[in-house]
Amino acid sequence: MQKRTELSQLILDSIKYWGLDIDITSPIFAASSFLILLGFCWLSFKITRRLFSGRLTRLILATRATWDDELQKHNFFKRLAHLVPGVILYTSASLLFAHTPALLAFIQKLAFVYILLTSVFIVSAVLNTIEDVYNSSLLARRVPITGFIQVGKLSLAIIAIILIVSNLLGKSPVLIMSGLGAAAAILLLVFKDTILGFVAGVQIAANRMVNNGDWIELPKYGADGTVLELGLTTVKVQNWDNTISTVPTYALIGDSVKNWRGMQESGGRRIKRSINIDIQSIRFADQEMLDKWEKIRFIRSYLTEKKQELAKYNQENHITDQDLLNARRLTNIGTFRAYMLRYLQNHAKINQDMTLMVRQLAPTEFGVPLEIYCFSADKAWVNYEGIQSDIFDHFLAILPAFGLRAYQRVSDRPSSESH
pLDDT (tens digit per residue) in 336-373: 999 999 999 999 999 999 999 999 999 999 999 999 99
pLDDT of residue 405: 94
C-alpha dihedral sign at 207, 212, 216, 221: positive
Is-above-0.85 flag for pTM?
Answer: no
Helix (H, G, I), strand (E, B) or coil at 322: coil
Residue 2 has pLDDT above 50, yes or no: no
Per-residue pLDDT for 255 more than 50?
Answer: yes
pLDDT tens per residue, range 259-272: 888 777 777 899 99
Tell me the per-residue pLDDT of 178-217, one tens digit each, with 9 for 90 and over.
766 656 667 677 777 777 777 777 777 666 788 888 889 9
Domains of the chain with CATH codes: 1-136 (no CATH), 141-259 (2.30.30.60), 269-412 (3.30.70.100)
CA distances from residue 123 to 71, 120, 128, 247, 276 in whole angstroms, order as listed: 11, 5, 9, 28, 64
- Residues contacting 67, CB < 8 A, separation 6+: 129, 133
Q: What is the mean predicted confidence (pLDDT) over 297-319?
A: 89
Say what the pLDDT of residue 184 is: 65
Name the percent of the chain lying above pLDDT 90.
Answer: 32
Q: Which residues contact 59 (CB under 8 A, 6 or more apart)?
A: none
Residue 407 pLDDT greater than 80, yes or no: yes
Q: How do residues 88-128 score in pLDDT, each as one tens digit?
A: 888 877 777 767 777 788 888 888 999 999 999 999 989 98
Render 182-223 in DSSP notation, one character per residue.
GGHHHHHHHTHHHHHHHHHHHHHHHHT---TT-EEEEGGGTE
Confidence at residue 173, expressed as pLDDT on a 0 to 100 scale: 80
Q: How far apart are CA 354 and CA 374, in angstroms?
A: 7
Helix (H) or strand (E) holding 387: helix 381-398
pLDDT of residue 400: 95
Q: What is the pLDDT of residue 296?
A: 93
Q: Is the dihedral of CA 69, 74, 76, 79 positive or negative?
A: positive
Least confident window among 61-65, 148-152, 166-170: 61-65
